[in-house]
Amino acid sequence: MTATAQPGQRSVPDRLARRLLDILVALFALVTTSPLLLMAVIGIKLTSPGPLFYMASRAGKGNKPFRMYKFRTMHVGSDKASAITVQSDRRIFGFGKFLRVMKIDELPQFWNILIGDMSVVGPRPEDPRIVARDYNDWMLETLMVRPGVTSPGAVYGYIYGDQLIDPADPEGSYARNLLPPKLALERAYIERATVWSDLSYIVVTGVAVLAFVSGRETRLPAVDIEGAKRWAPQGPYPKART
């Protein structure tokens, strides 16, 4: 389905305000999470030989490739297999699994924000191979804005990722089952994104991580779920937060 609104068309004041928010949040996050960053550095060094960081190739704004920083959570060399990981993936070492569940492995991406590759809130950046192979026209429209550390699609993947991906066919099941509703949520959100809605999704992300750890249910804003149904009506979608 072709959307009527064009994503990424924002006024100059809005773009400046969002960039200022990105810089302030990134600096604040790097300072306040420095104990977690140190813990991750020590934990990786003690539990898995190899580099601290994994620099993932990702499609950025305008489908321009960039290097996204993450703490390494898999054994060295194992990234040459499937681009999609599952909860039971044997490539992930023990401490790396903890980093993934708590989203600590994503913290180095605040550096990507400072250098302008990413925003705090925006569509999660995808592997260029998956973009070239699996994205259709409306999915490609999510590349008209900067990718983000968190987003509706990121929270959705956190909720449904393990349920919708088949370990026997991770990339195929990801493209069939998870990618359409995830990107539909991203596509719907960028039509209404503002500084204030970005701030609300930062809160939603924190709530989602705590809810996952405690075994509780996570909800997404109703406006994004209803908007996503224009592109991926089959879902599945979590209960809406009104």
Task: Give the start-to-end residue ranges of the domains of the chain.
Answer: 12-241
The residues facing 121 across adjacent strands are 150
Taking each helix axis from N to C end, the angle separating 12-32 and 195-214, rounded to the nearest 10 degrees, works out to 30
Q: Which of 3-12, 72-81, 215-224 has the lowest mean pLDDT?
A: 3-12
Q: Higher confidence at residue 4 or residue 162? A: 162
| Confidence category of residue 151, pLDDT binned at 50, 70, 90 | very high
Q: Are 145 and 7 in contact (CB under 8 A)?
A: yes
| Confidence category of residue 7, pLDDT binned at 50, 70, 90 | low
Q: Is the dihedral of CA 157, 159, 160, 166 positive or negative?
A: positive
* Average pLDDT score over residue span 155-170: 89
| Confidence category of residue 141, pLDDT binned at 50, 70, 90 | very high
Please tell me the pTM assigned to this model. Answer: 0.88
Q: For 136-174, give the DSSP string.
A: -HHHHGGGGS--EEE-HHHHHHHHHHHHH--TTSHHHHI
pLDDT digits (tens, 9 = 90+) for 182-239: 999 999 999 999 899 999 999 999 888 888 778 788 889 999 999 999 999 999 998 8
The residues facing 58 across adjacent strands are 66
Q: Which of 165, 164, 152, 148 is nearest to 227 (CA)?
A: 152
